[in-house]
Amino acid sequence: MERHHAESYGWALACCRRDSAEAEAVLHAAYVKVLEGKARFDGLATFKTWLFSVIRRTAADEGRRQVLRRSWLAKHLESLPRMAECERPDDAIYRSEVQSMFRAALAALPARQQEILQLVFYHDLSLAEAARVMDISVGSARTHDDWGKRHLRSLIEKSKVLDESPVG
């Protein structure tokens, strides 16, 4: 696990919509599952592929729990003023204009398309490995990959037009 820690954290960030605190909690919970034997490596995939699927499932479980917590908090804390958002350390990676545009375009994609592109491009998984992590067929992974790239290209092209237009 130590060998894949940096990439695992990156994948946890992607699964947690770049929320570093949530990603750390998810990664910790995934490691605990592995160490306690609640998630067992069956050898049907590479260790990295298996580990990424454990992280994804853990993030999904945590996401379901968070929905209930957020709903309750929203109802009870509506009257409090919002705190100013602080820049997270991982945001520094995306400071340049092109990277910000790409990140916004990627975030605008449907969740499955985001996941497949994250796994293939940022984590160097094959489509077959990404399909296994996402628990979908290879054909479905190919479809999401193709649609995701087309949609991403379209969004980036639209962003470039907007960026070049004068600010009014």
Secondary structure E strands in 90-167: none
Q: How confident is the model at residue 43 (pLDDT cuts 50, 70, 90)?
A: confident
Domains annotated on the chain, with CATH: 1-86 (1.10.1740), 96-168 (1.10.10.10)
The structure tokens listed for 44 are 């049907």
pTM: 0.53
Rounded distance between C-alpha atoms, residue 20 and residue 132, angstroms = 25
pLDDT single digits (tens) 68-125: 666 665 665 554 455 445 555 555 554 566 667 777 788 889 989 988 988 888 888 8
Question: Does residue 58 have a pLDDT over 90?
Answer: yes
Q: How confident is the model at residue 51 (pLDDT cuts 50, 70, 90)?
A: very high
pLDDT computed for residue 84 by the predictor = 46
Range name among 29-43, 93-107, 137-151 with the lowest pLDDT average: 93-107
| Angle ∠(48,62,22) on CA atoms, nearest 5 | 75
Rounded distance between C-alpha atoms, residue 61 and residue 12, angstroms = 13
- The residue written with tokens 């919509």 in the block is 17
The structure tokens listed for 109 are 């994609």
Q: Report the pLDDT averaged over residues 26-35.
A: 94
